[in-house]
C-alpha cells in the first residue's frame, strides 16, 4: 500500500507540472519508459520506443525529440493521475510485460533465467528478498548466546554487519584500519576510481541517487560505505585499529578463538561461534622482488600505500606496472610531472566508455531521487551492460583458428574494435601501437576502462618502457638493455598478494590443521568460494574463485555470499546446532565443476600470465560463473551438504 507519506510526496512532485515536465528532460529515455509502463501497463509505448533503443547505455538511444517530449508528458500525466486518485503505486510492473520491458530496456534479449534475479535485485515486489528472515523467531536468550566475528569492514564486512544487525544477531567486526572502507580507504592514489558503473557497484539495499559520477572516484565510494555503516550504527560493533593475527577452532567449546593485536601492541582474544573473513582478495600489497630495490633511496611506495607527503609535480617519476591501479595513476599525474617513465611487463586491454568521465548532472540526480522506480530500472540497465553479456566472449572456441590472439569470433571482433581504438588514440604511432596492444585475447585479464591512458602515451614527457628491469640503484632503474632511467620517485603499481589468500593470518581448523596446510601457499579452494572442509563455522567472502573478471560488480558477489552465510547461521541457530562443516563430496564436486568451466575460458589460455593463476597454473581467483549462475548457486543453503554437530546438552 502506498502510505500517506508517499501520496503526499507524489502530490508535491506533480504539484508543479511545468517544473516536473522540465525536470524530466534530464531523464534517460529507457528508464523513463520503464517507469511509464511499470505504472501504466500500456505495451504500446514499448512498441513505439523500442526501435530507438539499441543497447543498455544512454548513448545507445536515439529517439526523436518529439517522441521524448510525448513520453515525458505521459509520465507527468500518469503520476498526476496516481496523485489525484490517491491510488497506491504498484510495486511491480505488470508481470506479463516484464520480459518485453527487460528486452526493450536493454535493447537486447534478457533470457527468462534472469527474471528471478531481476525481481530480487530490483526488489520489484518490495519484499526485501535478499534479507534472510527467521522461520521461527529464536528466543532472546538464544540470540544473546550466539556471537559472530567478522574480520574486515570493507564493502563486504559492512554488508555482513548490516544483515547481522537486521537479524538481531550479536556480532563484532574487527578491522585493522581506523575506518571502514577497505579497498576504498587504503587506496588513495591520484586517479583512484572504479571501472564498474556505480549505480550498479553499490548495495542493492541502498541504491544511491547521489553519485557525482557514473564511474565514481575513491573518496565518493568511501563516503558511501561510511554512510551505510553509520546508518546501521556499526561503529558500536567494530573494533578499529585491531588486526586479527590468528583464529583457532576450539573443538571442545565449539568456538573460534580469535587473537588480535592493536596498533599499539595490545593483545586480546575474542570468542565467536561463527567466523566470517571479509578481508578481500586485494588487500595485501604485492612488492616486486627486484634486485637493488632497497638501494633506491629516493621516495618509493606502493599505489595502495601512496605517500601524500611526497610532491610529484615537476619530478621525474617512475612507475612499475600497468595493471588496474597503474593505468589510473598514469593519466592522473602525467600532466604535472617532469617525466613519467612507465615500466611495463605486459599491456592491458582497456575499453572506451563515453560516460567514464561524465559527472551526473543535478537534473539527473533529481530524477534518480524523485521519480518512482527510475533508479531501479537504471540500475538494471547498468547490471546488464556491465556483466553477463560479455561472458560468452571469454569462452574458448576449440575450432577458432587464431587462438593466440582471440578466443572466438565475437572475441576477435572485440579485439579489432579495441585495436582500432588504441590506434586512433595514439595517432597511429606504430611503435606505441606495438607496445600498448596485448598479444593475449581480450578479457584474458579484467577489461579496464580507457581513462585516456592511450592518449597519455603520446605525451612528450611520458616514456613507455617495455624492456625488462634488470636492477635498481640509487635514484635509477636499470633495464636489461643497460639503459639507466634516472628518477626522483618510484611508484610500485604491482598489485596485491591475492593468491596467498587470507595471508598473513594464521587460521587453524579441526584437528589442528591450518589453512596453509590445506591450501598450501597458493591453492585456495572453497565450496561456492565460501566454506572449507575441516573448518567448521568458518565462512570466507571474496574467497577462492569468486573474483569477477568478465565484468560485474564485486558488491553483487558480496551480497550473494552474505545471504548464503546468513542462511547458514539461521540453520545453526534455529536448529540449535553447534557447528556446520561442509562435506567432502559436494566440496570436491564443486571444485571439479569450477576447474572444468575455467579450463574452457580465457584465463586458462596458455599465453596468459596473471595473478589469477597459481604457481602450478591453476586459476584460483576467478569465478567461471555468470552473475546469474552464482546467484542461483548461493540463493539457498542446502543443509545436506553439511555435517552438523548438536550442542552438548547442559
Ligand X SMILES: Cc1cc2nc3c(=O)[nH]c(=O)nc-3n(C[C@H](O)[C@H](O)[C@H](O)COP(=O)(O)OP(=O)(O)OC[C@H]3O[C@@H](n4cnc5c(N)ncnc54)[C@H](O)[C@@H]3O)c2cc1C
**Please, which residue, 389 or 577, has the CB nearer to ligand X?**
389
CA distance 601 to 446: 13
The most distant pair of C-alpha atoms in the chain lies apart, rounded to whole Å, by 80
**Please, which residue, 152 or 529, has the CB nearer to ligand X?**
152
Contact 244, 261 (CB under 8 A): no
Contact 107, 60 (CB under 8 A): yes
> Minimum distance from CB of 78 to ligand X (Å)?
36
Q: Which of 310, 306, 318, 313 is nearest to 333 (CA)?
A: 313
> Minimum distance from CB of 262 to ligand X (Å)?
11
> Minimum distance from CB of 159 to ligand X (Å)?
8
**Please, which residue, 98 or 501, has the CB nearer to ligand X?**
501
**Please, which residue, 28 or 195, has the CB nearer to ligand X?**
195
> Minimum distance from CB of 187 to ligand X (Å)?
5
> Minimum distance from CB of 222 to ligand X (Å)?
10
Contact 513, 526 (CB under 8 A): no
Q: Which of 458, 446, 468, 386 is nearest to 422 (CA)?
A: 458
Tell me how crowded residue 41 is: count the other CB atoms within 10 A of its CB. 14
- Cell matching residue 535: 573448518
Tell me, what DSSP letter sits at residue 514? Answer: B
Return the SS3 of 564.
helix
> Minimum distance from CB of 240 to ligand X (Å)?
9
**Whose grid coordinates read 585499529?**
241
Task: Please provide residue 190's backbone torsions phi and psi, each rounded to the nearest 5 degrees.
Answer: -60, 135
**Please, which residue, 577 or 623, has the CB nearer to ligand X?**
623
Pairing of strands 577-582, 642-646: antiparallel
**Please, which residue, 175 or 388, has the CB nearer to ligand X?**
175
> Minimum distance from CB of 563 to ligand X (Å)?
15
**Please, which residue, 36 or 192, has the CB nearer to ligand X?**
192
> Minimum distance from CB of 324 to ligand X (Å)?
6
- CA angle 445/543/590 to nearest 5° reads 95
**Please, which residue, 175 or 450, has the CB nearer to ligand X?**
175
**Please, which residue, 240 or 644, has the CB nearer to ligand X?**
240
Helix (H) or strand (E) holding 184: helix 183-186
Return the SS3 of 276.
strand
- CA angle 287/293/296 to nearest 5° reads 130
> For residue 562, what are the CA distances in angstroms to 131, 148, 540?
9, 13, 10
**Residues paired with 484 in a beta bridge:** 478
> For residue 448, what are the CA distances in angstroms to 40, 158, 477, 623?
39, 26, 27, 17
Whether residue 504 is preceded by a cis peptide bond, meaning omega within 30 degrees of 0, is: yes
> Minimum distance from CB of 101 to ligand X (Å)?
26
- Which class for 15: exposed (0-12), middle (13-18), buried (19 or more C-beta within 10 A)? exposed
CA distance 491 to 222: 23
> Minimum distance from CB of 383 to ligand X (Å)?
12
> Minimum distance from CB of 179 to ligand X (Å)?
8
> Minimum distance from CB of 107 to ligand X (Å)?
23
**Please, which residue, 498 or 601, has the CB nearer to ligand X?**
498
Contact 150, 278 (CB under 8 A): yes
* Residue 42 neighbours by CB under 8 Å, 6+ apart: 36
Tell me, what DSSP letter sits at residue 7? Answer: H
* Residue 2 neighbours by CB under 8 Å, 6+ apart: 10, 86, 87, 88, 89
Where on the chain is the footprint of ligand X (CB under 6 A)? Answer: 151-157, 174-177, 182-183, 187, 194-196, 201, 243-244, 278-280, 282-283, 324-325, 505, 541-542, 548, 553-554, 558
Tell me how crowded residue 106 is: count the other CB atoms within 10 A of its CB. 21
**Whose grid coordinates read 592491458?**
348
- Cell matching residue 131: 534479507
Tell me how crowded residue 59 is: count the other CB atoms within 10 A of its CB. 12
**Please, which residue, 296 or 564, has the CB nearer to ligand X?**
564
> Minimum distance from CB of 242 to ligand X (Å)?
7
Q: Beta strands of 389-502 (E only): which ranges?
A: 448-449, 462-465, 469-473, 476-479, 484-486, 489-492
**Please, which residue, 155 or 380, has the CB nearer to ligand X?**
155
**Please, which residue, 411 or 553, has the CB nearer to ligand X?**
553
> Minimum distance from CB of 330 to ligand X (Å)?
14
**Please, which residue, 130 or 316, has the CB nearer to ligand X?**
130
> Minimum distance from CB of 541 to ligand X (Å)?
6
**Please, which residue, 296 or 496, has the CB nearer to ligand X?**
496
Amino acid at each position: 500500500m502506498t502510505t500517506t507519506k508517499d501520496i503526499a510526496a507524489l502530490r508535491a512532485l506533480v504539484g508543479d507540472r511545468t517544473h516536473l515536465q522540465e525536470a524530466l528532460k534530464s531523464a534517460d529515455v529507457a528508464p523513463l519508459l520503464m517507469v511509464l509502463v511499470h505504472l501504466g501497463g500500456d505495451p504500446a509505448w514499448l512498441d513505439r520506443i523500442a526501435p530507438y533503443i539499441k543497447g543498455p547505455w544512454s548513448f545507445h538511444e536515439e529517439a526523436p525529440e518529439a517522441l521524448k517530449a510525448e513520453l515525458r508528458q505521459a509520465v507527468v500525466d500518469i503520476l498526476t493521475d496516481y496523485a489525484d486518485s490517491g491510488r497506491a503505486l504498484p510495486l511491480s510492473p505488470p508481470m506479463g510485460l516484464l520480459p518485453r520491458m527487460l528486452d526493450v530496456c536493454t535493447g537486447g534479449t534478457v533470457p527468462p533465467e534472469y527474471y528471478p534475479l531481476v525481481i530480487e535485485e530490483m526488489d520489484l515486489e518490495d519484499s526485501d528478498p535478499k534479507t534472510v528472515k527467521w522461520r521461527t523467531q529464536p528466543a532472546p536468550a538464544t540470540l544473546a548466546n550466539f556471537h559472530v566475528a567478522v574480520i574486515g569492514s570493507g564493502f563486504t564486512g559492512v554488508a555482513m554487519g548490516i544483515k547481522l544487525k537486521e537479524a538481531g544477531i550479536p556480532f563484532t567486526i574487527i578491522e585493522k584500519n581506523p575506518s571502514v572502507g577497505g579497498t576504498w580507504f587504503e587506496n588513495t592514489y591520484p586517479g583512484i576510481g572504479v571501472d564498474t558503473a556505480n549505480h550498479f557497484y553499490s548495495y542493492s539495499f541502498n541504491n544511491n541517487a547521489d553519485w557525482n559520477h557514473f564511474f565514481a572516484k575513491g573518496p565518493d565510494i568511501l563516503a558511501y560505505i561510511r554512510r551505510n555503516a553509520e546508518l546501521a550504527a556499526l561503529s558500536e560493533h567494530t573494533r578499529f585499529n585491531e588486526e586479527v593475527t590468528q583464529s583457532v577452532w576450539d573443538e571442545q567449546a565449539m568456538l573460534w578463538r580469535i587473537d588480535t593485536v592493536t596498533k599499539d601492541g595490545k593483545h586480546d582474544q575474542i570468542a565467536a561461534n561463527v567466523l566470517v573473513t571479509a578481508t578481500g582478495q586485494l588487500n595485501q600489497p604485492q612488492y616486486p622482488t627486484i634486485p637493488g630495490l632497497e638501494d633506491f633511496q629516493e621516495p618509493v611506495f606502493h599505489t595502495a600505500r601512496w605517500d601524500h607527503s611526497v610532491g610529484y609535480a615537476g619530478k621525474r617519476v617512475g612507475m612499475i606496472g600497468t595493471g588496474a591501479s597503474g593505468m589510473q595513476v598514469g593519466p592522473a599525474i602525467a600532466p604535472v610531472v617532469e617525466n613519467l617513465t612507465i615500466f611495463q611487463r605486459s599491456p592491458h586491454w582497456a575499453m572506451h566508455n563515453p560516460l567514464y568521465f561524465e559527472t551526473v548532472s543535478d537534473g539527473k540526480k533529481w530524477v534518480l531521487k524523485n521519480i518512482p522506480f527510475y533508479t531501479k530500472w537504471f540500475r538494471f540497465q547498468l547490471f546488464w551492460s556491465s556483466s553477463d553479456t560479455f561472458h560468452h566472449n571469454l569462452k574458448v572456441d576449440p575450432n577458432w583458428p587464431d587462438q593466440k590472439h582471440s578466443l572466438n569470433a565475437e572475441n576477435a571482433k572485440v579485439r579489432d574494435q579495441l585495436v582500432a581504438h588504441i590506434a586512433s588514440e595514439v595517432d597511429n604511432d606504430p611503435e606505441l601501437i606495438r607496445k600498448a596492444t596485448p598479444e593475449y585475447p581480450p578479457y584474458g585479464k579484467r577489461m579496464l576502462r580507457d581513462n585516456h591512458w592511450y592518449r597519455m602515451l603520446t605525451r612528450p614527457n611520458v616514456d613507455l618502457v617495455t624492456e625488462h628491469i634488470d636492477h635498481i640503484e640509487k635514484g635509477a632503474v636499470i633495464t636489461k638493455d643497460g639503459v639507466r632511467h634516472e628518477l626522483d620517485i618510484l611508484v610500485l603499481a604491482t598489485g596485491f598478494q591475492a593468491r596467498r589468500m587470507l595471508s598473513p593470518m594464521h587460521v587453524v581448523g579441526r584437528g589442528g590443521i591450518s589453512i596453509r596446510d590445506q591450501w598450501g601457499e597458493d591453492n585456495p579452494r572453497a565450496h561456492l568460494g565460501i566454506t572449507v572442509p575441516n573448518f567448521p563455522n568458518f565462512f570466507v567472502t571474496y574467497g577462492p574463485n569468486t573474483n569477477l573478471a568478465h565484468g560485474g560488480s564485486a558488491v553483487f558477489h558480496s551480497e550473494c555470499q552474505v545471504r548464503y552465510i546468513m542462511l547458514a547461521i539461521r540453520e545453526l541457530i534455529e536448529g540449535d546446532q553447534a557447528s556446520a562443516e561442509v562435506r567432502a563430496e559436494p566440496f570436491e564436486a564443486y571444485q571439479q565443476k569450477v576447474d572444468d568451466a575455467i579450463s574452457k575460458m580465457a584465463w586458462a589460455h596458455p599465453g596468459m600470465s596473471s595473478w589469477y593463476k597459481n604457481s602450478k597454473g591453476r586459476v584460483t581467483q576467478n569465478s567461471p560463473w555468470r552473475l546469474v549462475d552464482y546467484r542461483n548457486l548461493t540463493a539457498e543453503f542446502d543443509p545436506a551438504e553439511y555435517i552438523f554437530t548438536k550442542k552438548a546438552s547442559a
